A = this chain, B = another copy of it.
Amino acid sequence: MSETSPGDVPRVRGKRPPQGDPVVDRALALLSAFDAAHPSLTLGELARRSGIPTSSALRLAGRLVAWGALERDAEGRFTVGLRLWEVASLAPRARGLRQVAMPFLGDLEEVTRQHVLLAVREGGDAVLLERLSAHAAIPVLYSVGGRLPLHSTGVGLVLLAYAEADVQEEYLSRPLLHEPERTPVSEAALRRTLADVRREGMAHFRRKVPRPIVSVAAPVFDAADRLAAAVSVVVPQEGADARVLGPAVRTAARAISRGLGARRPLGPGR
């Protein structure tokens, strides 16, 4: 009863939420059930993780499979479908930015022979748009399409340092933990770090676990001179030379900014 659209059929009191299209919301909830730790789900898992009764979940998943948003593998497990990926790759922030950035990211990867990351801010997280990794690169925590904490990654610090003041204040007002160590973040220390990032035009972030790494990140600006993304290089701490990495990362970030049409590739006011 809860799966009717507003205005089209008589409402049954108490059986449907007051607004929205519950069917669509349920279909989207099925998509939300997938994440990096759960890229394939049985029907039971899909129902449990989305909070949708199994019979509804099966019917809705059937529609999503018919269109190609989901696929079903040989064992009957549901996965995200290639057709959804096709449509999603039209997302302007993923597509336009990536297209401009890729050759420069490739250069950075060639020079550093480790990991090169491109990320954008989405709400209170960084979303990893691209990661180029050399064969011999050290293991890292994050993969493409995944979310990264703003306060404990190089790209995240850049995205936070150049975010609008209200976004920053909202973020700083939360209790924050360093990831993956789960130790508390001092708000005062984070404020100092963000000021440093803005002053230097780049972030240096060091992490000890799972192994000691250094991330050097710089901001990318768009044609309206707004922050568009952050680019970083992640290397093992041993042997890392920030004096070399900094200029390389900033040069790539400026080149990408120019490619996006930024008039001030170092950012507004600089």
Contact = CB atoms under 8 A, between A and B. Distances in A.
Interface of A: 1-6, 8-10, 20-21, 23-25, 27-28, 31-32, 34-36, 39-40, 56, 59-60, 63-64, 66-67, 69, 71, 73, 79-95, 98-99, 102-103, 106-107, 109-110, 120, 122, 127, 132-135, 143-147
Nearest to A68: B122
Contact of A145 (B25, B32, B95): B95
A69 B32 CA distance: 11
A21 B60 CA distance: 7
A63 B20 contact: yes
Contacts of A135: 103, 107
A86 to B, nearest CB: 5
B89 A87 contact: no
Nearest to A131: B102
Contacts of A60: 21, 24
Contacts of A59: 5-6, 21
A9 to B, nearest CB: 5
A54 to B, nearest CB: 14
15 contacts: A2-B8, A3-B5, A23-B23, A24-B64, A28-B64, A34-B90, A39-B92, A71-B91, A80-B92, A82-B94, A82-B120, A82-B122, A86-B122, A88-B89, A103-B134
Nearest to A1: B8
Contacts of A146: 86
A3 B21 contact: yes
Contacts of A95: 39, 143-145
Contacts of A36: 90
A1 B7 CA distance: 9
A11 to B, nearest CB: 10
Contact of A9 (B1, B90, B93): B1
Contact of A109 (B71, B106, B145): B106
Given A5-B59, A34-B87, A120-B82, A133 B92 contact: no
B85 A91 contact: yes
A147 B89 CA distance: 12
A5 B16 CA distance: 13
Contacts of A132: 102, 106
Contact of A80 (B81, B88, B127): B88
Contacts of A1: 8-9
A133 B103 contact: yes
